[in-house]
Structure 1
Amino acid sequence: MGCCTGRCSLVCLCALQLLSALERQIFDFLGFQWAPILGNFLHIIVVILGLFGTIQYRPRYIMVYTVWTALWVTWNVFIICFYLEVGGLSKDTDLMTFNISVHRSWWREHGPGCVRRVLPPSAHDMMDDYTYVSVTGCVVDFQYLEVIHSAVQILLSLVGFVYACYVISISMEEEDTYRFPEPNFLPHTISEDHGQSYK
C-alpha cells in the first residue's frame, strides 16, 4: 500500500511539474528567452521520462529523473540569483537570450497592473529598443515574478526528488524479495514416489 501511495504521489508531482513547466515555457517563448526555453524543454522531456518510469515500474528512468531534479534545482537557483542580481549578475544583460537579441522577460512589460507606453526615440538612443517603452504601475516587479516561478520549480523538484528516492528504494526492495523459489527435488523421494505409484 505504501508503495502504491508513493508511486501515485510521484505521478501527481510529475503531472504538476509538467503543467508548471509548460506554463513557464509559454511565457519564456513570448519573451524570446532562449536559455530558459532550452532548459524548460529538457525538463519537460525528463519529467515525462520519470512519469513513464513511475507508471511502468522502471527504476532506471526514475533515477534519471532524480539526477535531473538536482540539476534543475541548481539551474533555478541560478535564475533567482540572476534576477536578484546576486554576485555581480545583472538582469539587464542579454544572458538569457544568449546575446542574440535584446529581449527581456515577458513579465517586464505585461505583469499584473503594468501600464506600457511607447515613447518616441531620441537621436542618440536609436539603437536601443527598450528606450521606446515606459512601464509603470506594476503591482509586482517582473524580477520577483521570475523568482516566484523559479521558487515553485525548486519546491516541486525537491518534493519530487524525495518521492523518487522513496519509489526507487521500494522498487529495489521488491526486486530483492521477489525471487523464484529454488526447486527442492530429492532423487530418493522421486524414486520412492514412482515406486509407490507403480504398485
Structure 2
Amino acid sequence: MGKCSGRCTLVAFCCLQLVAALERQIFDFLGYQWAPILANFLHIMAVILGIFGTVQYRSRYLILYAAWLVLWVGWNAFIICFYLEVGQLSQDRDFIMTFNTSLHRSWWMENGPGCLVTPVLNSRLALEDHHVISVTGCLLDYPYIEALSSALQIFLALFGFVFACYVSKVFLEEEDSCCALGVCSTRLAPTKHLPCPVASPLYPPPPPPS
C-alpha cells in the first residue's frame, strides 16, 4: 500500500490521544481532581470530533480540533508549572484542581512506584473525615509523574495540530478544485485521485453569472 497518508497518520495520532486522555481521566477521577476531569472530558470530545472530521472529510471539524489543541497545550503547560511550582504557583492551593471541594490532589501521591504510605495516628493536622499520612521511598515523586503525563499530552497535541492543519488544507484544496469545475459539494470525494462528484439534484451546478 506504500506510505501512510497524512489522513491515516492523523487518525493514528487521534487514537493515541484518545487512549492517553482516557488513561489520564481515570487517574484524575481517582484523585478527585475536578478541574482536570472537566478539561479531559472536553479534550476527549475534541479528539472524537477530529477523528470524525478526518474520516468524513470535514475540514471545519479539523479546524475546530486544531484550535482546541492550542488551548490543550496551554492547559498542560499550566499543569506542568503547577506541579513543579514554577513562579507563584503552589500545590497548597487545592481549589485550583479540586474547586475547593476536597483535599485530594494527585492519585500518584500515595500510589507512585515504590511509595510506602504510613498513617500518622492522632495527628492534630487531620481534619474531619481525613487522615494524615507519611509517604516515603518513591522512585519518582508524583509531581514529576504528573509533569511527564502533561508533557506526553503536549507532544501528541503538537503532532496532531500539524497533521490536522495539513489534512484540512488538503480537504479545502480538493473542495476548491471541485468548485472550480462547477460542482460544489459539502462532502469531498474519497481521495484526490477520484473525480469530483457529478452534478445531481443534491449538488446542482451554480447558476451562470448574470
Q: Is the 8 A contact 1:3 1:170 kept in 2?
A: no
Alignment of 1:59-98 (within 5 A): 59-94=59-94, 95-98=96-99
Distance 2:118 2:129 in 1: 13
TM (norm. structure 1) is 0.86
Alignment of 1:68-147 (within 5 A): 68-94=68-94, 95-122=96-123, 124-127=124-127, 132-147=132-147
TM (norm. structure 2) is 0.81
Aligned to 2:49, what secondary structure does the other structure show? helix
By how many angstroms is 1:104 displaced? 1.3
Moved over 6 A (4+): 1-4
Quick one: which amino acid aligns to residue 16 of structure 2?
L
Q: Is the 8 A contact 2:34 2:99 kept in 1?
A: yes
Quick one: which amino acid aligns to residue 89 of structure 2?
L
Aligned to 1:133, what secondary structure does the other structure show? strand
From the two aligned structures, give the one with the greater helix fraction.
1
Q: Is the 8 A contact 1:53 1:61 kept in 2?
A: yes
Aligned to 2:87, what secondary structure does the other structure show? helix
What residue number does 2:40 align with?
A: 40
What residue number does 2:22 align with?
A: 22
Select the structure of larger CA radius of gyration: 1
Cα gap change, 1:17 to 1:64, in 2 (>3 Å):
same
Q: Is the 8 A contact 1:3 1:167 kept in 2?
A: no
CA RMSD in angstroms, aligned pairs only? 2.0
Distance 1:128 1:147 in 2: 31
Quick one: which amino acid aligns to residue 133 of structure 1?
I
Q: Is the 8 A contact 1:18 1:47 kept in 2?
A: yes
What 5-or-longer segments of structure 2 have no aligned partner? Answer: 183-210
The CA deviation string for residues 41-77 of structure 1, in whole angstroms up to 9 with x for no partner, is: 0000010001000000000110110000000000000
